[in-house]
Homo-oligomer: A and B are copies of this chain.
């Protein structure tokens, strides 16, 4: 058995059975091993930014790591931006990065580069395998690192001679660092704080945003009067009518400060204190009001759900009625984020997955689906645009029986549009909605917020995508995905209804 087969068998033994890939020559032994060792779902992406984004989406939905297979330093480099998002999401993920044979490195061939250097900024764990004999153990360590709570990025560099060298076989799985217990003293301290606060809020992220986490938090809220808040960039959030009392913290610094102003206590459950996404000359970075005290119930690597349970019990909290949500109101005369969001909310199937990176058009989607049937919502965790399409693709691989709805701005979608090809190839049940405003619209807002009230023509042209207008139907069809354009509410409703009734990849360009 060679090193590649050993690696593959160790991945499978460790429960890693899906690999998103864009291989090259140095990975041919791994690719060849896929036929020798059954059981690895192998998904090809035509660009590594799509590949890593798929692995992120997969990990968020499956709750366990996928592997990626990437071609040397530049292949990894192309995937780094979505690995940055995955790192911010706390997604478990294992990169296998092929390298030149160890003896070949000294010749400085054209593709030689500092792979570990590329990997470090996004990886919690990096290792370059040195021998086929130990690559099984290295792989087991990589899986263990990736599965450490709440989820980490592990990068294993695989020199070609390690892949083709003879080995003694796969390694057994290793234990991993599970979610840590929250100490009892923390539970009682937070309980005291909640009971003595006038107007407390509980900010949820990670496991705390599962159905169980939110339901437990709802019991606490009912008994303490606390408001329930969700992190602005939660990796995954259970949403819909039963969870509609969880309000998401807004995006801009001044909005956050205003939003949090009523609260004298903010209990953090798997979340960090809210800060401004960017810095501005005259705006705050730290977005917790001075009069708001912070209390930490659980950090990201701690067992937030159990802590919430214990806190609820400690407070004697009882089961509560579900919130009552009126359906969203919108104008049928205007195709915009609010009509689109309301129609999505009305027509989407139960337990679907929404991958949303609609930027300036995001609020309408969130609003329209707030009172809809229960679903999971994936957000842009690291701010690196180009996440939504690949993440939707990976989510559909992880959950083949669930409808996936992807809502993206046109600017962001252009970064990793290659994900559409994989959706067509794998016949994935993803409906992609592109908001075609033909602009980096958020940057027009940011330009104003930076104090440039009358930007000049050159600056404005750098934010403008009208010339030429991108035709998303052509792009989608060029990659084998059925597509249509909606310019009215009725058109969108009819196209989206059709997409919900059928299976398979589909794109709707919404001209706004």
Q: Which residues of A contact B (CB under 8 A)?
A: 21, 23-26, 28-29, 31-32, 34-36, 42, 44, 46-47, 49, 73-75, 77-78, 80-81, 84-85, 88, 100-101, 103-104, 107-111, 113-114, 117-118, 120-122, 160-161, 164, 233, 272, 275-279, 281, 285-286, 381-384, 386, 411, 414-415, 417-418, 421, 424-425, 442-443, 446-447, 450, 452, 455-459, 461-463, 465, 467-475, 477-480
- Residues on B with beta carbons closer than 8 Å to the beta carbon of A278: 25-26, 100, 104, 109, 111, 160
- In the assembled complex, the Cα of A417 lies from the Cα of B73 at a distance in Å of 21
- Residues on B with beta carbons closer than 8 Å to the beta carbon of A474: 474-475, 477-478
Partner of A382, one of B74, B121, B450: B74
- In the assembled complex, the Cα of A2 lies from the Cα of B109 at a distance in Å of 43
- In the assembled complex, the Cα of A294 lies from the Cα of B207 at a distance in Å of 63
- In the assembled complex, the Cα of A286 lies from the Cα of B272 at a distance in Å of 53
A21–B450 touching, CB < 8 Å: no
B382–A110 touching, CB < 8 Å: yes
A100–B279 touching, CB < 8 Å: yes
A281–B49 touching, CB < 8 Å: no
- In the assembled complex, the Cα of A80 lies from the Cα of B75 at a distance in Å of 10
A110–B81 touching, CB < 8 Å: no
Report A327 CB to chain B, min CB distance, Å: 32
A84–B113 touching, CB < 8 Å: yes
| Given A80-B74, A470-B478, A478-B474, A35:B458 Cβ within 8 A | yes
Partner of A78, one of B31, B81, B118: B81
A384–B472 touching, CB < 8 Å: no
- In the assembled complex, the Cα of A424 lies from the Cα of B107 at a distance in Å of 41
B281–A164 touching, CB < 8 Å: yes
A279–B160 touching, CB < 8 Å: yes
Q: Which residue of B lies closest to A38 (CB)?
A: B458
Report A464 CB to chain B, min CB distance, Å: 8
A471–B462 touching, CB < 8 Å: no
- Residues on B with beta carbons closer than 8 Å to the beta carbon of A470: 421, 478-480
| Given A73-B121, A81-B78, A478-B475, A110:B458 Cβ within 8 A | no
B34–A458 touching, CB < 8 Å: yes
- Residues on B with beta carbons closer than 8 Å to the beta carbon of A279: 26, 100-101, 103-104, 160-161
Report A465 CB to chain B, min CB distance, Å: 7
Report A97 CB to chain B, min CB distance, Å: 13
- Residues on B with beta carbons closer than 8 Å to the beta carbon of A46: 411, 414-415, 465
Report A383 CB to chain B, min CB distance, Å: 4
- Residues on B with beta carbons closer than 8 Å to the beta carbon of A100: 278-279
Partner of A80, one of B77, B425, B469: B77
Report A85 CB to chain B, min CB distance, Å: 8
- Residues on B with beta carbons closer than 8 Å to the beta carbon of A382: 74, 110-111
A121–B110 touching, CB < 8 Å: no
- Residues on B with beta carbons closer than 8 Å to the beta carbon of A120: 114, 117
Q: Which residue of B lies closest to A282 (CB)?
A: B164
- In the assembled complex, the Cα of A443 lies from the Cα of B21 at a distance in Å of 14
A458–B272 touching, CB < 8 Å: no
Report A421 CB to chain B, min CB distance, Å: 7
A418–B425 touching, CB < 8 Å: no
Partner of A118, one of B28, B121, B457, B478: B121
B32–A450 touching, CB < 8 Å: yes
Partner of A233, one of B110, B442, B450, B459: B110
Partner of A21, one of B84, B456, B462: B462
12 contacts across the A-B interface (CB closer than 8 A): A26-B278, A31-B455, A32-B456, A35-B455, A46-B465, A74-B384, A80-B80, A109-B275, A111-B384, A113-B122, A421-B470, A425-B468
- Residues on B with beta carbons closer than 8 Å to the beta carbon of A85: 74
Report A354 CB to chain B, min CB distance, Å: 19
Partner of A414, one of B47, B104, B414: B47
- In the assembled complex, the Cα of A23 lies from the Cα of B461 at a distance in Å of 12
- Residues on B with beta carbons closer than 8 Å to the beta carbon of A160: 278-279
- In the assembled complex, the Cα of A287 lies from the Cα of B53 at a distance in Å of 39
Please name the 3 residue pairs, one residue from A and one from B, whose CB atoms are nearest each other, closest first.
A468-B480, A35-B456, A474-B478
Q: Which residue of B lies closest to A24 (CB)?
A: B443
Report A485 CB to chain B, min CB distance, Å: 12
B34–A109 touching, CB < 8 Å: no
Report A98 CB to chain B, min CB distance, Å: 10
Report A484 CB to chain B, min CB distance, Å: 14
- In the assembled complex, the Cα of A32 lies from the Cα of B272 at a distance in Å of 33
Partner of A459, one of B35, B114, B442: B35
- In the assembled complex, the Cα of A429 lies from the Cα of B217 at a distance in Å of 61
Given A110-B381, A110-B383, 11 other A-B contacts at CB below 8 A? A28-B450, A34-B458, A35-B457, A35-B459, A49-B78, A109-B278, A109-B285, A111-B277, A468-B480, A474-B478, A478-B478
